[in-house]
Amino acid sequence: MGDSVEEILSAFEGRPHELIPLLQAVQEREGFLSEDAMRRIARHARVPESRVYAVATFYAQFRFSPVGKRHIQVCRGTACHVRGAPRVILEIQKLLGIQEDETTPDRAYSLETVACIGACGLAPNMVVNKENHGHLTAKKVSKVLGRTEPLAED
């Protein structure tokens, strides 16, 4: 990871006002923000580590652990909630053995909930690697994920 973070940092002047673009660039390249990367960003932008952490935790766009190869985002918006999103989330949790904001040990899947996907007419919705799946039921979740049995525990 070191070389790619250094490459990103070198493209910036190292000013406090570059903090968010630095965080975005590192996450884009690395997939998440590690503690080491945030410390290095703080040094480069000349801001306290606490400020980097405060900014990164304030914005929902930033993540602090790697996402799975199949990144699942389930909408929790009003339309999705009313039409069954909680049941969809429970089915995903049962099949994958993970909770919200977790990744399976093999990094095959990660689960995240989001405020709104923007496809309310297709509620409930989930996005898997940027592909939307609407009108979900527990049975449809199994088909989308290609699983009918829970993942085996290691």
pLDDT tens string 79-112: 999 999 999 999 999 999 999 989 999 999 999 9
Domain shared by 94 and 36, yes or no: no
**Position 117 in a domain:** yes
Query: What is this structure's pTM?
Result: 0.71
Q: What is the pLDDT of residues 21-46, one digit of tens each?
A: 999 999 999 889 999 999 999 999 99
The HSE-up count of residue 143 (CA atoms within 13 Å, CB side) is: 8
Tell me the CATH number at 11. 1.10.10
Tell me the CATH number at 97. 3.40.30.10
**Position 64 in a domain:** no
Domain range for 131 is 70-145
For residue 110, the cross-strand partners are 71, 103
Neighbours of 89 (CB within 10 A): 22
**Position 152 in a domain:** no
Per-residue confidence (pLDDT) for residue 146, from 0 to 100: 85
The HSE-up count of residue 138 (CA atoms within 13 Å, CB side) is: 9
Contacts of 83 (CB under 8 A, 6+ apart): 123, 124
Dihedral pair phi/psi, residue 82, rounded to 5°: -65, -35
**Position 99 in a domain:** yes
